[in-house]
Chain A
């Protein structure tokens, strides 16, 4: 097969579960499928919360350590501040037809995006496969994930 430099597959590593990072990963994966590009997501460390059944509906945006919030760090750390910012963001997202996290996961799997949980992080957090989003493709090692990404035109992205 001739390699014209085009992207054939996106391998996205999601290591955070703040809403803005999760959406970035999901939009990129879905956008790839919409262009005929394969996509797989590897959820590791805190990224696992985005596929944890009890947590994925309650993800927040970061109000501390996020200069783009234009909010003083002390203020961002007040109780309830993350919840307020998150609820504001969710309202804006619904306006632009952005699905919530669970619906987005369903869209991704229906679109053929493969979802993998990192074995090491699963062990570390004492999570079981049964705790996770039901259409998860499996719990795999870093080595397995690299094998999934083999081939011409694969790009890897760490979020």
Chain B
């Protein structure tokens, strides 16, 4: 389905995960973050950049991997993205919903 984000037609799943990363840019990320009541700081962007890099390298994301990333620990990850951090962060980053249970 399509959804208007920041004035652009963006292709998303029912849960709001983008399905075409080529449509993503930082302003789209900012708009999705605002919908989730998050105002992105440089610290958020460091984590989002890490998540996007892992995705581009086909590394499956999990809370445990985030904790071992050296970019952010699990506690701070929950501070930056308080509600469902992995889902929210991947949604903002414009990549598919992670399938991990850990």
Q: A99-B64, A107-B67, A111-B78 are in contact. Are A36 and B102 (CB under 8 A)?
A: no
- Say how far B77's CB is from chain A's closest CB, in angstroms: 8
**Chain A contact residue count (CB 8 A cutoff):** 15
Is the beta-carbon distance between B64 and A34 smaller than 8 angstroms? no
**Chain B contact residue count (CB 8 A cutoff):** 18
- Cβ-based interface call for B25 (8 A): no
Which B residues form the contact surface with A (CB < 8 A)?
Answer: 60, 62-65, 67, 73-75, 78, 83-87, 100-102
Contact residues of A between 83 and 126, Cβ < 8 Å to B: 97-99, 103, 107, 110-112
Question: In the complex, what residues of A have CB within 8 A of residue B83's CB?
Answer: 36
* Contact with A110, one of B62, B65, B67, B84 (Cβ below 8 angstroms): B67
* Contact with B85, one of A31, A34, A99 (Cβ below 8 angstroms): A34
CA distance A110 to B74 in the complex (A): 6
Closest to B62 in A: A97
Is the beta-carbon distance between A112 and B78 smaller than 8 angstroms? yes
Which A residues form the contact surface with B (CB < 8 A)?
Answer: 27, 30-31, 33-36, 97-99, 103, 107, 110-112
CA distance A103 to B102 in the complex (A): 12
**Total residue contacts A-B, CB cutoff 8 A:** 43
Is the beta-carbon distance between A36 and B84 smaller than 8 angstroms? yes
Question: In the complex, what residues of A have CB within 8 A of residue B75's CB?
Answer: 110-111
Is the beta-carbon distance between B86 and A34 smaller than 8 angstroms? yes
8 A/B residue pairs, CB under 8 Å, sorted by A? A30-B63, A30-B102, A33-B78, A35-B84, A36-B84, A97-B102, A107-B74, A107-B102
CA distance A60 to B96 in the complex (A): 36
Question: In the complex, what residues of A have CB within 8 A of residue B102's CB?
Answer: 27, 30, 97-99, 107
Q: Which 9 A-B pairs have the closest CB atoms?
A: A110-B74, A36-B84, A36-B83, A110-B75, A35-B84, A31-B101, A99-B64, A34-B86, A97-B62
Question: In the complex, what residues of A have CB within 8 A of residue B84's CB?
Answer: 34-36
Is the beta-carbon distance between A35 and B87 smaller than 8 angstroms? yes
CA distance A111 to B75 in the complex (A): 6
Closest to B83 in A: A36
* Contact with B100, one of A97, A103, A107 (Cβ below 8 angstroms): A97
CA distance A15 to B64 in the complex (A): 25
CA distance A111 to B82 in the complex (A): 10
- Say how far B16's CB is from chain A's closest CB, in angstroms: 14
Question: In the complex, what residues of B have CB within 8 A of residue A34's CB?
Answer: 63, 84-87, 101
CA distance A36 to B88 in the complex (A): 10
